[in-house]
Structure 1
Amino acid sequence: MSRNRFIWIGLVALTWAAMMSFGGVAAETVMLYPNIFHDAPASLERARDFLTVSGPSDYFPPLGASVVLLGVATTVLTWRDRRLRWWVAAATMVFVACEFLFSVVFFWPRNEIMFVDPVGAHSPQYLRQVAEEFVAGHRVRLAGGAVTAALAFTALLRWARTAAGERGARTTVTPGRSDGSGG
């Protein structure tokens, strides 16, 4: 398989995973968060009951790991191409900063407080404060996901345009012939 094929696969996979991650965060923002955070701590208890079989913690960690791995692999694959290098590297860095590191530092401790610690371990006022902080901080994750997806998609478009231009340059057309055979 040619290097260009690997670059194409990497860019498509990275763009798809980044868009899936951003789409998931956006959907969570408009469908789950209004129900989870509207009346803390009572709404947090209902969310615990609702999210017993599956929840965001089952979906986002494996998807996030795939975005990081695909981002690193695609950065390596595209490093020699100046037109793509920084788009892919930036997408990877934004995702790692806004989705992974920010989540570890900011969201994971708040998730523990709201959804793992025993019910009644924290005062209702403290739970409301933590829920408000979580929702406010979520904007960073949402913006980071949007920027990551946009950067990855831009790299994919730049590669596709270049690849299409190279294919067009290899085809010579003789006047009067439309089949591109040149003869």
Structure 2
Amino acid sequence: MKLFILYLYIMIGSGILFVNLYNSLVDAPNWGRNIPDSLETAKNYFQQKTPANFFKITGPLHHLIGLAVIIFLWNPYPQIRGYIISAFILFVLADVFTVIYFFPRNNILFGQKPVDPKIALQTWKEWSHMNWIRSLILLSGVVIACISLYKIYR
């Protein structure tokens, strides 16, 4: 039963990673297609819900599960301590990066009216490039969490 929580941690972390990749592969190219019109289209589309609605729920839940993984697996599996702490730090780092880097850019892209096309284009490019870095951080967290699972079964 204790390992179930690690499986859950890996699954939710993978889900967050894949939603982030979806944003890079599908959403962001559409946002930048014809700025400022494409941003207005995205704003209209996101009137009811945005990707932030997903991340605001899954992010904190994932961190709580990560703490539970550390607590519940600390004594029974000392060989994975460094891995689960590293994975947890990477997932928290991705969220800190989101708050510090992406929130201000989201505000420029989707919060201001009217949008200055030059500023919006530069902001969209920055957002698009750095989201791949965020995805890499998330992927690293998932891989390290998977290594900890491997170490348990090995």
TM over 0.5: yes
Cα distance in 2 between the residues matched to 1:111 and 1:31: 16
- Which of residues 126, 134, 147 is equivalent to 1:133? 126
> What's the Cα RMSD here?
1.4
- The residue matched to 1:75 in structure 2 has which SS? helix
Corresponding position of 1:123? 116
* Contact 2:84–2:144 (8 Å) recurs in 1: yes
- The residue matched to 2:41 in structure 1 has which SS? helix
Corresponding position of 2:80? 84
Corresponding position of 1:9? 4
* Contact 1:44–1:114 (8 Å) recurs in 2: yes
Q: Does 1:110 align with 2:97?
A: no
Q: Deviations over 1:60-103 (max 9, x none)?
A: 12111122111111112222333211111111100111x21101
- Which of residues 61, 71, 89 is equivalent to 1:93? 89
Runs of 4+ residues deviating >3 angstroms: none
Cα distance in 2 between the residues matched to 1:40 and 1:93: 36
- Which of residues 23, 29, 39 is equivalent to 1:28? 23
Greater relative contact order (Cα < 8 A, sep 6+): 2
Q: Unpaired segments of 5 or more residues in structure 1?
A: 163-183
Q: Does 1:150 align with 2:150?
A: no
Q: CA deviation at 1:14?
A: 0.5
Q: CA deviation at 1:126?
A: 1.0
Cα distance in 2 between the residues matched to 1:116 and 1:123: 12
Q: Does 1:58 align with 2:65?
A: no
Cα distance in 1 between the residues matched to 2:130 and 2:4: 33
TM-score, length basis structure 1:
0.78
TM-score, length basis structure 2:
0.91
Q: Which structure shows the higher helix fraction?
A: 2
